[in-house]
Amino acid sequence: MRVTLALIDGPDWVVRAHRNFIDAGAQVITTNSYALVPFHIGEDRFKSEGLQLAALSGRLAREAAATQEGTTVAGSLPPLFGSYRPDLFDADAAPAIIGPLIDGLRDHVDVWLGETLGSIAEVEAIRAALDRNDWPTRPLWISYYLHHEHEGLLASGESVVDAVSAAIDLGATAVMFNCCQAETITAGLEIGRAALPDTVRVGGNANRFVAAHTSDTPSNAGIAPFRDDLAPHEYRTFVCRWLDTGAKMVGGCCGMEPVHIAEIARLVERLA
């Protein structure tokens, strides 16, 4: 994936990208470790470079965060066997993949972020890996990928209510929905907020893709076109509704640019 190649060929560009979002008002940045799994970079490169690349992604994010006091660095713990494909999850193979990510990121991040997770089993694997690698002390945030057709379900078919409850039971201090279309996140937040105690924050980060990904779509087989109806002011309308629902953490996922974050930052500042 291009994001992984940036770590290898242009680490300065990774720092610059982080800073662009920080300058736009982002209070949290995510390490560029999402694609550091064999599914994307191959078994051989993962075995030889996965740990070092994860550590590099953490160092670059920390370098960028140092430019703005109070910026939080979230360590990205992604789907281990392909985006949007919970059906490919292999619990037996998971520890060998997630362990090097945790070891590489652990010295650089403020929170752990399990993101774009399509099943409860993926969350359980993250929790087990953090415990197994003796690194459960940082806060854990969990962000789910929702079913693109059936409201109230994860991509796996499990219910949002069950998924939220599982994340809480596994120690998550925030439960979010990300890399879905904005309309899908709206429905997920309305259901998820009702299932969450006040001590756990809820949030959403939509992508800008034209079409939702399905189990019939090869993950990252190409670059999806972007919607032409999610300019910053249009995305702001969705975020307003999320905040009205009770969301405490809002931002952007794939395709969202610094101008989108700037619009959200101005909105949040006015509401505050």
pLDDT score for 24: 98
Q: Which two tokens stand for residue 197?
A: 């105690």
CA dihedral 129, 135, 141, 147 (to 10 degrees): -10
Mean pLDDT of 155-164: 97
Of residues 9 and 175, the one with the higher pLDDT is 175
Sequential DSSP letters for 183-232: HHHHHHHHHHHHHS-TTSEEEEEE--BSS---TTSPTTSSPPPBPSS--H
pLDDT score for 93: 97
The domain defined by 77-271 folds into TIM Barrel (3.20.20)
**Would you mind telling me the total number of residues written for the chain in this entry?**
272
Sign, Cα dihedral of 7, 69, 259, 83: positive
User: What percent of the chain lies above the pLDDT cut of 90?
Assistant: 84
Of residues 3 and 100, the one with the higher pLDDT is 100
pLDDT score for 132: 87
Position 216 pLDDT exceeds 70: no
pLDDT score for 219: 52
Q: How far apart are CA 146 and CA 174, in angstroms?
A: 16
pLDDT score for 9: 86
pLDDT score for 148: 86
Q: Which two tokens stand for residue 270?
A: 């006015």
Question: The whole model's pTM is what?
Answer: 0.94
pLDDT score for 221: 59
Mean pLDDT of 6-32: 95
Which has the minimum average pLDDT: 13-17, 134-138, 171-175? 134-138
Q: pLDDT tier at 271 (50, 70, 90 boundaries)?
A: confident
Average pLDDT, the chain: 92
Q: pLDDT tier at 224 (50, 70, 90 boundaries)?
A: confident
Mean pLDDT of 6-14: 90
Of residues 134 and 40, the one with the higher pLDDT is 40
Q: Are 107 and 62 in contact (CB under 8 A)?
A: no
Which has the minimum average pLDDT: 58-62, 81-85, 135-139, 253-257? 135-139
